[in-house]
Amino acid sequence: MHIPYEQLQQFKNIYKQEFGIELTDEEAYEKEMRLMMGMKAIYSPIIKEKYTRLEREEKELEIEK
Protein backbone atom coordinates (compact mmCIF):
# COMPACT_ATOMS: atom_id res chain seq x y z
CA MET A 1 0.00 0.00 0.00
CA HIS A 2 1.32 3.41 -0.93
CA ILE A 3 1.28 6.22 1.61
CA PRO A 4 1.73 9.69 0.09
CA TYR A 5 4.90 11.49 1.22
CA GLU A 6 2.93 14.39 2.71
CA GLN A 7 0.80 12.01 4.78
CA LEU A 8 3.91 10.22 6.03
CA GLN A 9 5.49 13.53 7.07
CA GLN A 10 2.29 14.54 8.85
CA PHE A 11 2.29 11.22 10.73
CA LYS A 12 5.93 11.78 11.73
CA ASN A 13 5.11 15.27 13.04
CA ILE A 14 2.14 14.05 15.07
CA TYR A 15 4.17 11.15 16.46
CA LYS A 16 6.97 13.51 17.51
CA GLN A 17 4.48 15.88 19.20
CA GLU A 18 2.75 13.05 21.07
CA PHE A 19 5.73 10.88 22.03
CA GLY A 20 8.78 13.13 21.66
CA ILE A 21 10.42 10.63 19.30
CA GLU A 22 11.53 11.47 15.78
CA LEU A 23 10.93 8.60 13.38
CA THR A 24 12.74 7.76 10.18
CA ASP A 25 10.60 7.47 7.05
CA GLU A 26 10.86 3.68 7.28
CA GLU A 27 9.77 3.60 10.95
CA ALA A 28 6.92 5.99 10.26
CA TYR A 29 5.75 3.93 7.29
CA GLU A 30 5.74 0.73 9.36
CA LYS A 31 3.88 2.34 12.28
CA GLU A 32 1.34 4.02 10.03
CA MET A 33 0.69 0.78 8.16
CA ARG A 34 0.12 -1.07 11.45
CA LEU A 35 -2.24 1.67 12.59
CA MET A 36 -4.17 1.56 9.31
CA MET A 37 -4.42 -2.24 9.37
CA GLY A 38 -5.70 -2.13 12.94
CA MET A 39 -8.27 0.50 12.07
CA LYS A 40 -9.37 -1.53 9.05
CA ALA A 41 -9.86 -4.61 11.23
CA ILE A 42 -11.83 -2.68 13.83
CA TYR A 43 -14.01 -0.71 11.45
CA SER A 44 -14.58 -3.28 8.71
CA PRO A 45 -18.20 -4.20 8.13
CA ILE A 46 -19.42 -7.37 9.79
CA ILE A 47 -21.17 -9.92 7.62
CA LYS A 48 -24.66 -11.02 8.67
CA GLU A 49 -23.59 -14.62 9.42
CA LYS A 50 -20.91 -13.47 11.82
CA TYR A 51 -23.28 -10.99 13.47
CA THR A 52 -25.88 -13.73 13.97
CA ARG A 53 -23.25 -16.05 15.44
CA LEU A 54 -22.03 -13.36 17.83
CA GLU A 55 -25.59 -12.63 18.97
CA ARG A 56 -26.17 -16.35 19.61
CA GLU A 57 -22.92 -16.65 21.59
CA GLU A 58 -23.82 -13.58 23.64
CA LYS A 59 -27.22 -15.07 24.52
CA GLU A 60 -25.55 -18.36 25.51
CA LEU A 61 -23.19 -16.49 27.83
CA GLU A 62 -26.14 -14.70 29.45
CA ILE A 63 -27.84 -18.05 30.11
CA GLU A 64 -24.69 -19.44 31.76
CA LYS A 65 -24.51 -16.55 34.24
pLDDT in tens, 10-56: 999 999 999 999 999 999 999 999 999 999 888 878 788 888 998 99
Which pTM was predicted? Answer: 0.64
Phi, psi at 44, each rounded to 5°: -70, 145
CA 4 to chain centre: 18
CB 28 within 8 A of CB 11: yes
pLDDT at 43: 80
Q: How far apart are CA 10 and CA 2, in angstroms?
A: 15
Residues near 31 by beta carbon (within 8 Å), at least 6 away in sequence = 11, 15, 23
Break the chain into its structural domains and give their ranges. Answer: 5-64
Q: How far apart are CA 29 and CA 7, in angstroms?
A: 10
pLDDT at 33: 95
